[in-house]
Structure 1
Amino acid sequence: MSTIWYECKVKYRKTDETGAQKITTEPYLVDALSYTEAESRINEEMSAYISEEFKITNIKVANYAEIHPFENADRWFRSKVSLLAYDEESGKERKTNMYLLVQANDVKEAYDNTISVMKGTMGDYTIPAISESPIMDVFPYFSGEEGELEQLERFNALKSSKPEVAVETVDHMEFEAVTEEEAVV
């Protein structure tokens, strides 16, 4: 059975970097079977993160074929993938679009991650668009079965890993100045 993802918008009071509180609405993705279950699950998930009152302002079916978390990434990107198929009856090429939600740090990394996800694809495809998604977090369904526990732990570990901060190295090596005449020798 394929996964149905619901985009749930949650409105709550958030404290920003300066310490000021403001009311914000943020979208989250929940894996559920119905709108009712999506509402129940987002209430359960958000209760763990938000101690104050919050309100669910909208729930809609999200148009994502697959969700792919990646290690050391902190943002979600929407990748549009066009699958190419040749229609032998009409003699024309047809495109079928699907959308992937891929975790990355920037658009280039999202493109690279989309390519790695699509590696096993037998048919031809193109990636006409990648854009940053407003999705704040993704909550997959977990039934409680033993086999799924490992999958859920891996998903959450990938999703919550933080990007590595690049440390700038300073080159302290000194070189003697070489004139053109010495370099020609």
Structure 2
Amino acid sequence: MSVTWYECKVKYKKTHETGEQKVTTDTYLLDAVSYTEAESRITEEMKAYTEEDFRIMNIKVANFSEVHPFENSDRWFKSKVSLVALDEESGKEKKTNIYLLVQANDVKEAYENSTKAMADTMGDFTIPSITESPILDVFPYFTGEEEQLEKFNVIETAELVEQED
């Protein structure tokens, strides 16, 4: 199942460490099935962040293939990963670029986390660039509970099939 990620820019009054309030525009990422659902979900998420009025300034489809959160990391980085494949007809190397969003504390850690995220990849790849993303937080549609339930259902179904045989 393919996930569509939406970048949402939201303008609101934010209380800073000094106690003063400033109008700020922050970028958030969430997955949804449509722009309408993305707008609804970011509205619900922002109600938890601020009691002030806020405006959704922009919603656009993000070009991330995968999102990888890592523990004890506080920033998000966009990693450009070039998948290298050999073109059978011409015999030349062909590169296909994908983008990962990885959580890390600095660029070096983002590179290491990108490499970890790509560890199960069968083909060769390179990481030509990593840039810090303006994304402040990520709101995935599913939580771990749904994934655990899905795994349980798959195991339970497999056991039922084995019993029938």
TM range (shorter): 0.7 to 0.9
- Separation in structure 1 between the aligned mates of residue 128 and residue 52 of structure 2, nearest angstrom: 41
- Separation in structure 1 between the aligned mates of residue 81 and residue 55 of structure 2, nearest angstrom: 34
TM-score (norm 1): 0.77
Given that 1:6 and 1:30 are in contact with CA atoms closer than 8 Å, whether structure 2 keeps it comes out as yes
For 1:82, the equivalent position in structure 2 comes to 82
For 1:73, the equivalent position in structure 2 comes to 73
Instruction: Report matched runs for 1:17-166 at 5 Å.
Output: 17-142=17-142, 147-148=146-147
Structure number with greater Rg is: 1
CA offset at residue 146 of structure 1? 5.4
CA offset at residue 142 of structure 1? 2.9
For 1:13, the equivalent position in structure 2 comes to 13
Given that 1:84 and 1:123 are in contact with CA atoms closer than 8 Å, whether structure 2 keeps it comes out as yes
CA offset at residue 150 of structure 1? 7.3
More strand as a share of residues = 2
Instruction: Report matched runs for 1:173-184 at 5 Å.
Output: none
**Matched residue SS, 1:18:** coil
* Structure 1 letter corresponding to 2:65: A
Given that 1:142 and 1:149 are in contact with CA atoms closer than 8 Å, whether structure 2 keeps it comes out as no
* Structure 2 letter corresponding to 1:53: D
For 2:162, the equivalent position in structure 1 comes to none
Q: CA-atom RMSD, angstroms?
A: 1.8
Deviations 1:75-108 (A, max 9, x none): 0010000000110112211100000000000000
- Separation in structure 2 between the aligned mates of residue 76 and residue 150 of structure 1, nearest angstrom: 28
CA offset at residue 49 of structure 1? 1.2
Q: Which runs of 5+ in 1 are unaligned?
A: 152-185
* Structure 2 letter corresponding to 1:95: K
Residues 150 and 50 (structure 1), Cα distance of their counterparts in 2 relative to 1, 3 Å cut: farther
Deviations 1:24-54 (A, max 9, x none): 1010001100000000000011111111100
- Separation in structure 1 between the aligned mates of residue 47 and residue 149 of structure 2, nearest angstrom: 24
TM-score (norm 2): 0.86
Equivalenced residues, count: 150
Q: Which runs of 5+ in 2 are unaligned?
A: 151-165
